[in-house]
Structure 1
């Protein structure tokens, strides 16, 4: 009888670029573009420069690129740095059903190994699509969370699968890579609730570990053969899950299509209220002094992530990203929340501080979902109450971003970071990324960018 881990391994080995549906290829391209953009912007976020310096100080020789700086280093170090940069602004794509951000782990891992192996664009795209599918299916199967950070916990398996695919491992090799990834699976929400910089490092750790697992497997190092279903495997140790979900319609249905591209650089729990408040103040052309009170209604789950008091004193950017009070105030005041709005000058704006006391958060006890539905009520001068509600998070399949919105986000991201780009340069770079499957190698993608 074929085990679950063997079924996953066979799927990874047997599926190539030509076998992938057009919709999964298009979605994967969009999210690679998005991941590169958010990593570019995140490269100057707190902690990211230090992580880059520590990695380069090792003096590792290699051909893998640190995206935002252009430095070359070993594949594992590059996977770590790029993974951390991509997570830094909390602007990366998310598979809501499994509470996992697959791309910030899988894309850096696959890119680093693709450069190492001289793989072409088609092989790279296939590896990313397959690695993301592994991470998302693990997320879909989970039925409890004991406090693990799922992006790194699931992501390390996706990274190992993608790296193993690019290293041309056979099914036994992929199985070993997944088994070795099990020994490195980790990540904690403690970093999130304390708003420490370790939160953004965890995706980098997982990308690095996934690459190393695949490289060890390629060298002949064996791993546990029942990484997912074993007596002391993934589900036994990390949390109960429905194992059949992991292989249900494997190869004919792609769970990762449900991964959403984020519209705003903040926790997903903020996104529906931000959208609704921007719509409200724009439609009625409201000024801050016309607003008497705002009530934001969210789920208990969302409240646990973003509903606490706003305190930017220790780590302003992370505090802003995980605050519904700050997000709402920015939406009301500026009618936007982009990269500029999570910089310290914007966060400590006195006008924001004056709006926050007007914002109340209530919990919808009948809402057992995570991020949507959510609603807002804005009471304006004269007593009129303006109400809005939405059932879908922007960027999801039900409420997708347009191509122009994705392009706008990339331009915004590319205008920040270590090497800010002009709009025309960003558009040219984006075109190259969207057409990766036409590249014989990805070695020259950064030519003329740094």
Structure 2
């Protein structure tokens, strides 16, 4: 469908965010939101101690330190809500370990959760179920917006998917505020006006932008929602017409069914994937394949003579340039390298956060193995099937071991259950600079959050002095 002057996608989406009754929100949607809330806070807790890129943000947040403000996750102090959204946004994606929507290729909660924490700090009371519904609306909206694109705008020089998350933050914060549909529409326009991203960040190995990008989205969303709440007007029709998102970034074309179809029954937040491994989701098919192959009794790492992978065109960039991807110098660069991630998995028999520390990055055996990996691009795969991948390992005696994955573990067909998510949370929380005082109680709080009469209990649980 070509965007025309009579399109009303913005109004429909804004009305849905503002007006859909929380009481009518399906239980599966609420449950999915609290799983993502637990996972998002968990990886942020771990990032507080492990990600050097967040240290400047923590320093900025300390300048606004105020008792009773919004907690900086894992850091033991509160700060002004807008500053908190910024630093918590940086924490959310710093380890690239949070959930993702495989088809939409977005991290729908990375900016939404920080925005929700900051927004509810500005209101007197909000029930736990309503906060979860607000998060679900933000995640659902950004997934739909991404799925609405019919082309890959990165070929035009835009790094599109990071741009979109400001909309999730704006929608979430607006719902928390109890905004009208008109206010949601203006909040989206203010968030959109603060958001841009060049694909150049993907091509520069030492760029920190990919790590801390959600700081800017969370900030834009909270600011946008707050301005709209106070009556300011940005512009209408964020998704419509020649100057809307699809007119500017999508060549004027939109998949209307993906964007606004089945609004009351299709919730994309229920289709998110949770990461069992702390790297770019585009690398996970190859981790998955490697672990499957290594279970074969014929496999021996010492006998590998050749490794060939099959990768989608969309994730070809995670293999090139070969020299950089084989020998990444930072954890962030390593997480966006299929050759390194695959080699590290084969060498260690697992992929955990420790495979990205400075000692692991310097391991010459891992580097040499990564350098030997041959890449084949499967042109039959489009952007929506980009997670598909395969690995073929040939041993010295000629034995060929192969594995292919359509959807990596953690996705809707092979999900992580609640017990696995809770175990992941516990492991991440223990790494925080300032973990929750009682991790078990925190898990119970979040996993039963729809029963909380006041969601501010979450802020209390995140504070070091609670």
Scaled to the shorter chain, the TM-score interval is over 0.9
Provide the residue aligned with 1:71 in structure 2: 77
Cα distance, 1:427 vs structure 2: 4.1
Give secondary structure in 1 for the equivalent of 2:414: coil
Asked if residue 403 in structure 1 is aligned to residue 418 in structure 2, the reply is yes
Aligned residues of 2:65 and 2:78 also touching (Cα < 8 A): no
Asked if residue 215 in structure 1 is aligned to residue 226 in structure 2, the reply is yes
Asked if residue 226 in structure 1 is aligned to residue 232 in structure 2, the reply is no
2: CA distance between counterparts of 1:303 and 1:15? Answer: 40
Alignment of 1:6-405 (within 5 A): 6-44=11-49, 45-58=51-64, 63-117=69-123, 118-144=125-151, 145=153, 146-195=156-205, 196-240=207-251, 241-242=253-254, 244=256, 245-284=258-297, 286-311=299-324, 315-369=329-383, 370-405=385-420
Cα distance, 1:73 vs structure 2: 1.1
Structure 2 CA distance for partners of 1:218 and 1:61, relative to 1, 3 Å: farther
Cα distance, 1:288 vs structure 2: 2.8
Aligned residues of 1:40 and 1:67 also touching (Cα < 8 A): yes
Cα distance, 1:361 vs structure 2: 1.9
2: CA distance between counterparts of 1:3 and 1:194? Answer: 39
2: CA distance between counterparts of 1:380 and 1:14? Answer: 60
Structure 1 alignment gaps of length 5 or more: none
1: CA distance between counterparts of 2:68 and 2:239? Answer: 32
TM-score, structure 2 normalization = 0.89
Cα distance, 1:58 vs structure 2: 4.5
TM-score, structure 1 normalization = 0.92
Aligned residues of 1:270 and 1:306 also touching (Cα < 8 A): no
Cα distance, 1:316 vs structure 2: 1.5
The CA RMSD measured in Å over matched residues stands at 2.4
1: CA distance between counterparts of 2:127 and 2:311? Answer: 45
Give secondary structure in 1 for the equivalent of 2:213: helix
2: CA distance between counterparts of 1:159 and 1:280? Answer: 40
Deviations along 1:162-215, one digit per CA (max 9) or x if unpaired, are: 111111111222222122223223223322221311222221101111101111
2: CA distance between counterparts of 1:449 and 1:187? Answer: 38
Deviations along 1:44-91, one digit per CA (max 9) or x if unpaired, are: 312101111023224577621111113111211111111111111111
Give secondary structure in 2 for the equivalent of 1:98: coil
Cα distance, 1:103 vs structure 2: 0.8
Give secondary structure in 1 for the equivalent of 2:376: strand
Deviations along 1:282-335, one digit per CA (max 9) or x if unpaired, are: 332744322222211112222223343253877411121011111111111111
Provide the residue aligned with 2:3 in structure 1: none
Structure 2 CA distance for partners of 1:421 and 1:280, relative to 1, 3 Å: farther
Give secondary structure in 1 for the equivalent of 2:306: strand
2: CA distance between counterparts of 1:443 and 1:3? Answer: 37
Cα distance, 1:140 vs structure 2: 0.8
Structure 2 CA distance for partners of 1:429 and 1:394, relative to 1, 3 Å: same
Structure 2 CA distance for partners of 1:30 and 1:285, relative to 1, 3 Å: farther
Give secondary structure in 2 for the equivalent of 1:237: helix
Structure 2 CA distance for partners of 1:356 and 1:200, relative to 1, 3 Å: closer
Structure 2 CA distance for partners of 1:238 and 1:418, relative to 1, 3 Å: same
1: CA distance between counterparts of 2:222 and 2:197? Answer: 17
Structure 2 CA distance for partners of 1:358 and 1:237, relative to 1, 3 Å: closer
Structure 2 alignment gaps of length 5 or more: 1-5
Aligned residues of 1:147 and 1:189 also touching (Cα < 8 A): yes
2: CA distance between counterparts of 1:150 and 1:281? Answer: 36
Aligned residues of 1:98 and 1:142 also touching (Cα < 8 A): no
Provide the residue aligned with 1:443 in structure 2: 459
